[in-house]
Amino acid sequence: MSFSVAVAGASGYAGGEVLRLLSAHPDLEVRTVTAHSSAGDPLAAHQPHLRSLAHLTLQPTDVEHLAGHDVVVLALPHGKSGAIAEELGPDTLVVDAGADHRLTSAQDWADYYGGDYHGSWTYGMPELPLAGGGKQREALRGTKRIAVPGCNVSAITFGLAPALAAGLVEREDLVSVLAVGPSGAGKAMRTDLLAAELLGSAHAYAVGGSHRHNPEIRQNFAAAGAPGTTISFTPVLVPFARGIHATSTARLTPGTTLAEIRAAFEVVYGDEPFLHVLPEGKQPRVIDTTGANTCLIGLAVDERAGRLVATSVLDNLGKGTAGAAVQSLNIALGLEEIAGLPIDGVAP
């Protein structure tokens, strides 16, 4: 059985990556692509690498063009998905790659985003361990509304959640510094994203706890059984097109060893097809996840500081956005979870 798909925001980076994955999916057929200012243009004018979908023309992003499909993926700017989603029927599987339906707290939405709050949907992070046992994967089965996680959120959550869930690290004084590629900011023209400004440089942004992914990270840790966490999270813009490298640290609880940390990660991720903990002493590289739906994790203990050091890398457009969307909708539709999703990266 083939499911029909419409992708809104198809001219952007996230929409383009969703389309790349769907183009090779054995059970999904892309029938409609939409955009805002680019409506009427051939898709190939904005996504020239998607040769198998070059026959498609961008339609206006409205309910008229999105309705009637089995699946609708909304790859729209934050604040733009909520109103459209409310007009789509309950039988349509709607996947929001933006932030509009991630947060369970209306106050968190008001504090970090502002504007109308449209409620929370089933969270699209299948591997998230849950308090009391099980994983978020079970909640995705049969759902009709999916909120795709933030890319920075995924990198940090994957790097710390197993240790927090097992009580091997303290909930306070979590720290994460991320090197982030500019594709995470989308295609909008911005001076700080120009090659002349970015190449040969690096700079932090959203410093001091102001990044919008902060409440979502804390929300995930609470779901994993560690409410009340405090985290200082600082992203740094660096000159690689796509990818995230997160270095996350946490104070060890007394007596915790690296062997116990590794055992906890193995329990949570050992059977996961897309989350791979590297051998002891090995650290992951961003380039090894390019184009793949994988997150690679390195673990170490800084004994002098008494801290866990977890490094996690992923492709912000892949596992960080589009890959998570396709993986989650596969589960919701009852398809093979790995369908259409690459495990191997692209090198060099």
Residue 7 has phi, psi (to 5 degrees) of -120, 115
Does residue 338 fall inside a structural domain? Answer: no
- 307 and 165 within one domain: yes
pLDDT of amino acid 273: 98
Does residue 134 fall inside a structural domain? Answer: no
- 116 and 187 within one domain: no
Does residue 158 fall inside a structural domain? Answer: yes
Assess whether pLDDT exceeds 90 at residue 198. no
Among 69, 100, 120, which residue terminates a domain?
120
- 163 and 63 within one domain: no
- 186 and 78 within one domain: no
Does residue 71 fall inside a structural domain? Answer: yes
- 227 and 106 within one domain: no
Q: Based on the structure, what is the number of domains in the chain? A: 2
pLDDT tens-digit readout, 53-106: 999 999 999 999 999 999 999 999 999 999 999 999 999 999 999 999 999 999
pLDDT of amino acid 347: 87
- 303 and 164 within one domain: yes
Does residue 324 fall inside a structural domain? Answer: no
- 184 and 275 within one domain: yes
Please give the Cα distance from 189 to 279 (Å, whole number). 41
Radius of gyration of the chain (CA): 19
For the stretch 217-239, what's the b/e string if a residue is b when 16 or more beta carbons lie within 10 angstroms of its beta carbon? bbbbbbbbbbeebebebebebbe
Does residue 305 fall inside a structural domain? Answer: yes
Assess whether pLDDT exceeds 90 at residue 131. yes
pLDDT of amino acid 302: 98
- 164 and 112 within one domain: no
Looking up residue 308, the CATH number of its domain turns out to be: 3.30.360.10
Mean pLDDT of the chain: 96
Task: Print the domain residue range for 37.
Answer: 3-120
- 71 and 12 within one domain: yes
- 213 and 278 within one domain: yes
pLDDT tens-digit readout, 287-322: 999 999 999 999 999 999 999 999 999 999 999 999
- 235 and 91 within one domain: no
- 176 and 101 within one domain: no
Please give the Cα distance from 178 to 160 (Å, whole number). 14
Does residue 335 fall inside a structural domain? Answer: no
Looking up residue 75, the CATH number of its domain turns out to be: 3.40.50.720
pLDDT tens-digit readout, 32-57: 999 999 999 999 999 999 999 999 99
Banded model confidence at residue 129, pLDDT cuts 50, 70, 90: very high
* Residues recognised as catalytic: 151
Q: Cα–Cα distances in Å, from 96 out to 122, 167, 252, 264, 291?
A: 10, 32, 36, 31, 21
Does residue 81 fall inside a structural domain? Answer: yes
The verdict on pTM exceeding 0.85 is: yes
Banded model confidence at residue 169, pLDDT cuts 50, 70, 90: very high
Assess whether pLDDT exceeds 80 at residue 1. no
